[in-house]
Each structure stands twice: as C-alpha cells, then as structure tokens.
Amino acid sequence: MSHPLARDLAVSVSPLGPETTCAEVFSRLLAEGDLMHIPIVSDGRPVGLVSRQDFMLTYVRMYGPEIYGRNPITCLMSETPIVVEADSTCEEIGPRVFSSDGTSGLQGFIIVEDGRYLGLGLAANLMRVTADILLARAEELERQRRRAEAASESKSQFLAGMSHELRTPLNAIIGFADLIRLELFGPIDPPRYLEYAKDIHGSGVHLLTMINELLDMAKIEAGHFDLHEDEVNLLEIGYEVIRMLRQSLLTARVALKLDIREALPHIRADEQQVRRVLVNLLSNAIKFTPAGGGITLSARENDAGGIEMSVRDTGIGIPEDKIAKVMEPFEQVENSFTRTRAGTGLGLPLTKAMVEAHGGTLTLSSVYGKGTCACVCIPAQRVVREEAVAAA
C-alpha cells in the first residue's frame, strides 16, 4: 500500500496576486464563508499566505472603531445563534453545531438552563468530547468483539466435544440395531420387534447425521475445515449421488434428470466434500418438492472457464426476502409444508462453506410457489485441462 503524498492533500483554491487590495480580499472572505486561507502567488510561485482569522482581526483593529465604534453591538451580532439546553447530549448538539453551511462551528453556541444563560459552548470542546465518546465506544465494541469470539470458540469446542461423546454410543446403537434389523443371529419373534429395530436404526442414523452437521459447523466456525484434494469426475459423482438418493426419490415420487456432458472437464477438489454438496442440494430439492414434481442436476463450463453446477426443482420455492435467511446457520423458512420436514437448518450453510472453501460461490434464486435453483460456481483455476495434464 503506497503512503499518501503532499499532492494527495492539495485543495484547489484560486490564488491572488500580491497587487490585490485588502478590500478585495475582504470581499472575497465575506463571499466565501468556508475559505480559511488564501495563497498569494506571483508568476506561479508562492510569496505569502493570508489567514482569515489574522486578516479579520487586523482589518477590524485598523478600521473597525471608525466604522462601528459608536453603534450598538446589535448591528454586528448574529440574531439566530445556536442555543442548546444544558441537558442536551453531545450527539444531539453535534449535527446542529457542525451544520452544512460550515460557519456554526466557528461561531460557537450558547448553553441555557430553563431558558437562562449558563455558558458558552465551543466547537473545539465539543469535538474533543465527541472524540472521547467515540473512542470509548470503539473500545467497548472491541471488548464485546473479543468476548463474542471467546464465546464462539467455547461454543465450538463444546459442540466438538459433545458431538464426539454422542457419536461413540450412537454408533454402537446403530450397529446393534442393524444386527437385529438384518436378523444375523436368527429370526426375530414376534415380528413387531423387527419393526422397532428398524425404527431405532433409522432414528439413530438421522440423529448421527444431525450430530455430524453440528460438528462440521463447529469446525468451520473454528477455522479447522481442511480439504483433501484430488482429481474429481463430476459425472461419476452425479451418478453415484443419484444412486444414493434413489429410494428418497421413489418415496417422494419426484423425477430427477441428470444433465452433465461426458466431455465435462474434471476438477481438483475434495471428492467427499463435492459429493456432500450435491447430496445436500439434491436432498433439499427432494424434501421441498411435492409429489409429481421434477428436479434437474446439471453441470457445464461457464464463460470464465469455471464449472457451474445447478440443482433446479419445481418445489415450493422461497420468498425473495427469505433467501438470505436460509443461508444462515440454524435458520429455516417456516410454512405449513416445511414444518413437516425435519432438519437442523445447517444443510445450506454447510454447503455454502464447503463451496467457498474451494474458492467457489453458492447462489440461490427462487420464485415462491414455483421452484428454486441452487447454483454452485467452481473457479477456473480448479478445472483440470487436458493440455495442462499433457504438459505435466
């Protein structure tokens, strides 16, 4: 970053020549109320500087008594001074004193109590007190920021610790429920117990997913989100994710279309995170698309040389003023349809964090009642080009 130079401070003020009369200078100062100094220049070279304050004091001292000496002071005073009550705050006084005309700060202001004169207020004192107030507020905001960061760090550590303590017994519950569900040691009698085992297994898997999301969010907030990069084939991952979600699609009675060209370039990314991005976006689309609707998963190269992946659905959509809200952790847009869909409200924030960890962006566009499109943009520097591979 370059340091500011004197030329950066230069203010364009028309100079006067040394032959200019004092009457002309006086007239200019009267006409330009915010002009504090006038440079005196001869043949482009400075020869002096006129200060408004010094000039006025000298001019008045020389000619004032002759002109105004016998007149009452009312002929020279301001008839509309700024008058403030003694219990007014500095924040209330400031806008009145430092008005746009630029003169009030020079004139000062009068302080009254119950309408009677109490004292004179000076702009310099007001500026000093205001600066002290702003400094104190800045220090308090900094203390609050540090407390918030400490609280956030404590929360993240607590979530990470609790998630670990919960996942260990939960994995055992899921494992044993799976053994019972699959009847590995013989048939279950009565059969109702088998249904209970399936419910326990399904609930355990759902709870484990929620805990993993909380743990991932804690890692992201703590800045411990690492990528394990490799060359990723988006077409293969697309087919894999569709196979994973086939049962969900059948249950929801929603059709899914894959629109990814076989010639689409590979990308360098964390394959597990890319898979999770697609799973999260497609799961959201399935969850909020009524039966009979459709979803399209597509990927293509954009004009900047990057890759754009989009998940477009014909679901319930999101109101325009709520789109930013659903991108925040633990936030959900409530309506009669979404209240029947369980979730932590972490799917989209986690997806956004995973995309941004790759240097990409996640954007949502939606028309309420007609559908939503989630678009992931992967930057060009992550696209693997054949010529680059050949050169290596």
Beta carbons within 10 angstroms of residue 365's beta carbon = 15
Q: What is the mean pLDDT of residues 48-77?
A: 77
238 and 144 within one domain: no
In DSSP terms, 266 is beta-bridged to: 384
305 and 261 within one domain: yes
Pick from 221, 241, 268: which residue ends a domain?
221
Q: Is residue 118 part of a domain?
A: no
352 and 262 within one domain: yes
Confidence bin at 180 (pLDDT 50/70/90): confident
270 and 182 within one domain: no
295 and 173 within one domain: no
Per-residue tokens: 160: 């990470």
Residue 139 CA to residue 24 CA, distance in Å, equals 50
Pick from 50, 75, 100: which residue ends a domain?
75
Beta carbons within 10 angstroms of residue 1's beta carbon = 3
Least confident of 149-153, 236-240, 385-389: 385-389
242 and 376 within one domain: yes
Residue 247 CA to residue 315 CA, distance in Å, equals 18
Pick from 60, 75, 90: which residue ends a domain?
75
41 and 12 within one domain: yes
355 and 245 within one domain: yes
C-alpha distances in Å from residue 59, one per residue of 56, 74, 75, 195, 274: 5, 20, 18, 103, 79
The CATH number for 14's domain is: 3.10.580.10
Beta carbons within 10 angstroms of residue 280's beta carbon = 21
238 and 208 within one domain: no
Q: What is the mean pLDDT of residues 258-265?
A: 88
C-alpha distances in Å from residue 349, one per residue of 7, 107, 323, 356, 382: 47, 55, 12, 10, 22
Per-residue tokens: 62: 């020389």
Q: Is residue 89 part of a domain?
A: no
Q: Is residue 50 part of a domain?
A: yes
256 and 147 within one domain: no
Q: Which helix (H) or strand (E) holds 234?
A: helix 234-244
Q: Is residue 117 part of a domain?
A: no
What's at 392, amino acid-wise?
A
Domain count, the chain: 3
Q: For residue 107, what pLDDT is reported?
A: 56
Q: Which residue has the higher pLDDT, 160 or 258?
A: 258
Range of the domain at 55: 6-75
Confidence bin at 299 (pLDDT 50/70/90): very high
Least confident of 57-61, 190-194, 276-280: 57-61
Residue 272 CA to residue 270 CA, distance in Å, equals 6
